Structure 1
Amino acid sequence: MKRKTMIGVGVAVLLIGGYVLSQQRGAEKAAPATLKVTVQNPITTLDPNFADDIGSNLAEVQTLEGLYTTDEKGHVVAGMAEKIVQPTNNHTVYTLTLKKAQKWSDGSSVTAQDFVASAKRQVDPASKSTRANHFKDLANYDAIRKQGASIDTLGIQAVNDCTVKITLSHPVPYFNFILANQLYPINPAKVKAYGHKYGQTAATTLSNGPYMIKKWNQSATTWQYEKNPYYAQAKQIHYQTIKTTLVTDATLASKQFLSGKVDEAEISGGILTNLKQSHPDAIKSGQKGRMAFIVWNAQDKVTGNTNFKRAISYAIDRRVLAEQALADGSTPAQSIVPSGEVKVHGKDFNAGLALPFDQAKARAYLKQAQVEIGEKKLTLTLNTADTDAYRALGVYLKQSIESTLPDVTVNLNRMPLNAEISAFNNRNFQAGTLSWSTDYNDPIDFLDAAYSDGAINFTKWQNGQYDALMKQINQQPEANDTRYQLEQQAARLNNDLNGVTPLYQVANVHLQKKQLHNLNYPVIGYQNYQYAK
């Protein structure tokens, strides 16, 4: 015992001596801090006018900054703009002044025109951006998109190099979130130089946010974020480098974390059960404003049939899906809108909404669909992204649907997320699973998935009653019960008609070393590495 104690003391002395020596030799320059993380989704693009997937949106938060931004807790604060402003003209005009000496990562100035150019490029029908609808509330949006009006009539202009004036067609209660999470600038000179390659590789990407991306292209499975020396708050950022590894398998991600190879890991799936027992202090879990659902090709003979979709919806036991198949803290969907986002008359938005498992109704609706389609045996090809959670989802859906509806065969088609999104955009699919995260606290962002004019309506489903409700909602200027009740009606109608079929609300589950602080996972938005310490 004494000998062991002496050895321990000897080691301690050597360590202390080594520390003192290293302090003496390296006092002038400390080693830069590096954070090692894993993520489950690849980056498909860092062109802010086309980034419409989870991996790209997470990367945007690290590399770009809007006129507003969010703090470590997800609250909206001033970003490139000097301050949060009060809109004028019946809450429809925002006049924002940029802070002085804001720079791109190449040292050039960020100007008001960079924000204007970004919004116009995104809305311009010629760009075919799936994010165009995020600016649907800007004045003249509909005239440009539907009537061929000039893009220069869009309600955004540069008054001068440092002032942006935005005019809305009507008051928007959540517009501060749009300014924080949607309106990112582009560098027009680089867009002109790189063309369609802008934001497709590290070399063709510019940052005005806390980090620059390095060692990345669209097929990369590892990349780095390096502190942007031109970012105004660069001195306040602790980590110089964020080393990122794409790990779609949650078990592998947890192993890398437990072995000390990474400091933070995104996980999902049944491994959470064991980790709760072995490493409960490492788990950071909570609900996320992100819903998973089935997207249907409305022009397909089978998946365009409403009764077939009803049959599929009633054949899914969402409680079993969430608690047993996923087992990661995700919860059953009650509608396409996440629970916990807003309240109506003091109750959660989803109070009174339900998506029950009902074998008898599933089979009854299938019989109607078989008559309408003219076939008894029906085949459904379901695309799923090749991640741990989607693999579990696909297996469960196949088992649940085929056991409840013996006349239906489900073929799973697993593919990389990039390929799945491409299939959606090209309408080369029958059905597929998708998830959507909101960037603002209003249900409209999810209801938009089934709206005929919606930016993420990959289905091309159209229903007159649903569209009329959506138009009514968009005319409501206040975030109040009147607006939310209309949104409830739209959610209930979608539950019945299955413009899209809701499945579950995603859990936000990560592993963190106890030495890591201030890295939070807000319900709305994404973790921001600039706040980590």
Structure 2
Amino acid sequence: MKKSKLIGLSVLSLASVGVLAACGNSSSAQKNIQFSIPTDVASLDTTLLTDQYSYDVAGNVEEGATRVNSKGDAALALAKSIDVSKDGLTYTITLRDGLKWSNGDKLTAKDFVYAWQRAVDPKTGSEYAYLMGAVKGANDIMASKAAVNTLGIKVDSDTQFTVTLAQPTPYFKFLLSEPVYYPLDQKVVEKYGKQFGTTSAKMVYDGPFMFTSKNGWTGTNKKFSIYKNPNYYDKSAVKSDEIDFQVISNANTGAQLYKQKKLDFTLLPTTDLINANKNVKGFTVFKQARTDYIEYNQSGKNASSTDAQKALANQDIREALNLATNRKEVVQTALPDSTPATSFTPVGMSKTASGEDFATYAKQDYTYDAAKAKTLWEKGLKETGLTKVTLSFEAAGDLAPSAATANYLQTSYEKALPGLTINLKLVPFQQRLKDAQNGTFDMILSGWGGDYAEPSTFLQLFTTGQAYNDGKFSSKAYDKAFTEATTTPDVLNPTKVDEHYKAAEIALYQGSYINPVDFQANPALMNPNIKGLEFHSTGLAYDLKTAYLK
């Protein structure tokens, strides 16, 4: 496990949340919602899962103290009440009476303490443990400087626990809705050990839905179903008895199944599919708070060659690659309805203290300039003693937008930068995640979706030593800006927080540490007879709790 560092967090500005409750007159061909995702589920272990598609499933069968509702608020869920001290440092969380896991076990405050301690324990290897950095003692535990039982959470009774924060975190209730904060049934986790969450049978559930022995997830199968959880405290609000999932990596197949009324939801990730289906009933575009970006391996390790290491350690070469990125054409070619990135933090996610979109406020000059790119490229080659260089460029080959983006950039980079050869490496999405985590790449096309509606959900990724800083760069200016945005006294001054976050964006741009490509949109086909499905631009994208077919 790569050590995570998080000194603190800051002030929340809520992103917009759309409630999808479209009406239609046509009848559906099947009783249950048929929902598709484009790639395999990696895990149901909420401490360990990292990708959006696993979250889309797990977030509907699991739940925490809070759950983001249709208005975008962190509403009470397993918690009956949450009391916050005047100084913002102490949260007393009282659970609902009679909570149960799907196997009938009582769900108590001890389940939260166990889960949180497991998450921050370095032995667990949770990549999302950094979100626990708001809790007192978490950072020292993650750095192996303290025992897990020093974490700032303690049981008061079966139905109450107290959390002490490292410093005021105004959006802590939103963090409580994140998977890494969910409770766990210790008995079940210890029964299955490392196999916990690797199949639906090796789990228990506390959310609106649950897996059963019927049509379960085996870890590799492409079709599975979730069922209404009879032990869920709010089961009367759950509108569907069963929802069926299919993993459909071929988007053309998904579109055809939708038209045949064998699917109710499928993504449209290619230009051709979007153009061919814009007039199909149910065409819609979901605007996620998500950025696609290129990471450069600056660790000095695991690159494809010594020359590649030398090249990507050079700022002029990285800047040349950034300048040679024609984001407008990338979007037109591979990512319709998305927009060219102008910062790392995406548009539509949060607002500044003055009400301005943060991405507009923090906009940087990520422009396409082939002539300047060539000049800096040649300068960088001279500085490194190279006359030519070969770089590998990895992307998820089973995600059509990623593959199309990588193919386009391979050609355009080689054309714009003399002496550059790009070896394209298209791998399955799950392999891309592993290679990014292990740092075994030269350049890699990554993506990040916001976990909550505040810039730190993006900007905390690149502090020195952070687990998701895959390129392993270190910037004093960046670290300083993020620290000042997320620690007292400025954490309680929204205007100052905005200024510091903008300084972090400036540091990213000036160092050419990463290469933001686009702010992602997800065109899709969705049966107009689906009502009650909630789309969130951050966190759980598709909340099916109240979804049903009319």
TM-score, with structure 1 as normaliser? 0.90
State the 1:185 CA deviation. Answer: 1.1
- Cα displacement string for residues 114-149 of structure 1 (whole angstroms, at most 9, x for unaligned residues): 111111111112222111101111111232233611
The code of the aligned residue for 1:447 comes to L
Describe the SS at the equivalent of 1:363. helix
Describe the SS at the equivalent of 1:343. coil
Cα contact 2:89–2:165 (8 A) shared by 1? yes
Are residues 413 and 176 of structure 1, via their aligned partners in 2, closer, same or farther at CA, if it must alter by over 3 Å? same
Q: 413, 416, 420: which is aligned to 2:428?
A: 416
Q: Distance in 1 between matches of 2:209 and 2:485?
A: 38
Q: Distance in 2 between matches of 1:446 and 1:62?
A: 24
Q: Distance in 2 between matches of 1:455 and 1:132?
A: 9
The code of the aligned residue for 1:233 comes to D
Q: Distance in 1 between matches of 2:334 and 2:266?
A: 21
Are residues 159 and 304 of structure 1, via their aligned partners in 2, closer, same or farther at CA, if it must alter by over 3 Å? farther
Cα contact 1:473–1:487 (8 A) shared by 2? yes
Cα contact 1:64–1:209 (8 A) shared by 2? yes
Q: 341, 351, 354: which is aligned to 2:349?
A: 341
- Cα displacement string for residues 446-497 of structure 1 (whole angstroms, at most 9, x for unaligned residues): 1122211323112221112211112112214337221011111101211222
State the 1:73 CA deviation. Answer: 4.6
The code of the aligned residue for 2:415 comes to S
The corresponding residue for 1:272 is 274
- Cα displacement string for residues 421-458 of structure 1 (whole angstroms, at most 9, x for unaligned residues): 12122222222111111121111111122211323112
Q: Distance in 2 between matches of 1:274 and 1:283?
A: 11
Q: Which has the higher contact order (CA 8 A, sep 6+)?
A: 2
Describe the SS at the equivalent of 2:226. strand
Summarize the alignment of residues 92-491 of structure 1 with structure 2, pairs less than 5 Å apart. Answer: 92-146=89-143, 148-182=145-179, 183-213=181-211, 214-270=215-271, 271-276=273-278, 278-279=279-280, 281-300=281-300, 301=309, 302-327=311-336, 329-344=337-352, 345-351=354-360, 352-385=363-396, 386-475=398-487, 476-478=490-492, 480-491=494-505
Are residues 199 and 99 of structure 1, via their aligned partners in 2, closer, same or farther at CA, if it must alter by over 3 Å? same
State the 1:251 CA deviation. Answer: 2.2
Asked which structure has the greater CA Rg, the reply is 1
The code of the aligned residue for 1:357 comes to Y
Q: Distance in 1 between matches of 2:249 and 2:365?
A: 31
Are residues 164 and 41 of structure 1, via their aligned partners in 2, closer, same or farther at CA, if it must alter by over 3 Å? farther
Q: Does 1:531 align with 2:532?
A: no
Cα contact 2:296–2:442 (8 A) shared by 1? yes
Cα contact 1:307–1:366 (8 A) shared by 2? yes
Describe the SS at the equivalent of 1:286. strand
Cα contact 1:297–1:460 (8 A) shared by 2? yes
Cα contact 1:93–1:168 (8 A) shared by 2? yes
Q: Give 1 or 2: higher helix fraction.
A: 1
The corresponding residue for 1:3 is none
State the 1:521 CA deviation. Answer: 1.7
The code of the aligned residue for 2:347 comes to S
Q: Say which is worse superposed, 257-266 or 212-221, in terms of deviation.
A: 212-221
Are residues 304 and 157 of structure 1, via their aligned partners in 2, closer, same or farther at CA, if it must alter by over 3 Å? farther
Q: Provide the aligned C-alpha RMSD in A.
A: 1.9
State the 1:33 CA deviation. Answer: 4.2
Q: Distance in 2 between matches of 1:421 and 1:489?
A: 29
Describe the SS at the equivalent of 1:164. strand
Describe the SS at the equivalent of 2:91. strand
Q: Distance in 2 between matches of 1:207 and 1:74?
A: 24
Q: Say which is worse superposed, 60-69 or 179-188, in terms of deviation.
A: 179-188
> Taking every aligned residue pair, what percent have the same amino acid on both sides?
26
Q: Distance in 2 between matches of 1:82 and 1:287?
A: 32
Runs of 4+ in 1 over 3 A off after TM superposition: none
- Cα displacement string for residues 148-205 of structure 1 (whole angstroms, at most 9, x for unaligned residues): 1111111112212111211111111221110112411111111111111111111112
Q: Distance in 1 between matches of 2:209 and 2:51?
A: 19
Cα contact 1:308–1:369 (8 A) shared by 2? yes
